[in-house]
A and B are shown apart, each in its own frame.
Chain A
Amino acid sequence: MFHQWKNTYRLAALLLTLCANTAYAQLNIFACEPEWAALTRTLAGDAANVYSATTAQQDPHHIQARPSLIAKVRRADLLVCTGAELEVGWLPLLLRKSGNAKIQAGQAGYFMATDHVSLLEKPAVLDRSLGDIHAAGNPHIHLDPYRVQQVAEALAITLTTIDPANQKNYRENLQNFNLEWRNAISQWQKQSDKLRGKRIVVSHNNWVYLEHWLGLERLAVLEPRPGIPPNSKYLAKVLAQLEQNPADMILHASYQNDRPALWLSQKTGLPVVGLDFSPSNKNSLIQWFDGVLNQLLRAES
């Protein structure tokens, strides 16, 4: 009997040490999208173990609350997501199922990027007949480098709050990031001068911050309403509109269905630019922005 108890006790102790070990390791950070994973990696460096819930090939509006994601949120010390209802179809469920107090809404470990910048296209009327619109405004802010910089500043503060021991590390990383980012911005600004005023057609209205930054003019969206795929009648209407008022290129995100864009390209001869909507697993934000601009410039020339 005594031996049995002793064994149980040993097992419990072993389990506890295992748990404790994981608790003392690096910060576990759960990023909803790859852009925030990349930014967090830059700011936290070795102090954190960053996991991205999605890839650039996945539509962040439509992710399933998979068991693997619940398990990741369970162990997270910090959540870095877009917010503004982008993840409304899956994140609340992950939070409720996680049993994790640190990352619940309102806690220090709950970081929503859109809480720290202003949003464009806040709808005046909320009606689903207008499609799947976001009440807080367009959430795809990561395509504007100025807003990314604001998010970086806020994120560095959050990192310091939840992990004060590494404060110096986070401050230095932020300073380095700011320096590199400013240089990159002025370089991108110069590079992208010839894109200013270019007229584009987009698959889904998720490029608004890029349009705003680069001075692109959006002529048409290949969805009759946000989130509603086009039918042939609608595409014919867009085609007629473009014959009157021609565009320079068609943009669509890597995770979107490219059929409507390819169809329109065939009819009009416009180049289709399939852009990675988010950085890939290994890329930094700067590398990703470079890639996006290069793709746009190539299509333009």
Chain B
Amino acid sequence: MNGTYFIELFLGGLTRGSIYALIALGYTMVYGIIQLINFAHGEIYMIGAFTALIVSSVLSFTGMSPVLIFIIAAIAAVVWAAGYGMTMEKIAYKPLRNAPRLSALISAIGMSLFLQNYVLLAQTSDFQPFPDLIPDLAFLKPIETIMNTTQFIILVTTAVVMVVFTLLIRYTKMGKAMRATAQDMVMAQLVGININKVIMFTFLLGSATAAIGGVLISSHIGQINYYIGFLAGIKAFVAAVLGGIGSIPGAVLGGFVLGLTESFGTGYISSDYEDVFAFAILIIILIFRPSGLLGKTTRKKV
């Protein structure tokens, strides 16, 4: 067994895992608060990537430095995707707040199909090249074969997002309101929390992190089309379930477990079975730990 190859796969797995984790956060938060699997979440990630592509294409005519373009494009993507997320909640989920859960789920699938086809119409089904805007960092030169700059940026950004996220949930007023709403929605209202605001903020936050994931992975892979959100969304959903849906640390852990499994699986066994590994591990976890790695086993009171 080759040591460098192992490290390469490991870092590759972490990179994938970061992206899955970023998307899975949105799934798990929304589920934690309104018990809805937001199947349109992958589409938000795709829209984030497209927004960055459009903004950076426009800005490339201005002759700005690539780094600046990348940063502006990323911010635009985050803002725009957050807007999409909030609008989606308002028109597709809010009217169904008191409806049976299945109705909201169907609405989510409808939203997903709508967004995919809307982007298909606007952007065609061809893969669009995503500009390589991140310049190579000099200090990564010696280990270029193992980890390139984009991977490095992905890992660092994800780490920063996770830390900010944790602080936000743990210490801010909105974070406390989110935790309270997730635990008991009626009681949260009775202590004066406006749950509409909390739910909207949850979608905003989830969409923003998904968009960050979208921008990062697109600059890593270099091309995007209207369909990238589907598989990424499903994989992130797997990550969220793997970690225990509703649990934020669980989503992060699930993302990394999934990314590493895929990376090692494709590296040591066969790359033909890339997606098989993801779903095989989901099935195994669901058999032995139905509530996920960090999920709480709910005991029903009799």
Query: Do these two chains interact?
Result: no
Q: Which residues of B contact A (CB under 8 A)?
A: none
Q: Which residues of A contact B (CB under 8 A)?
A: none
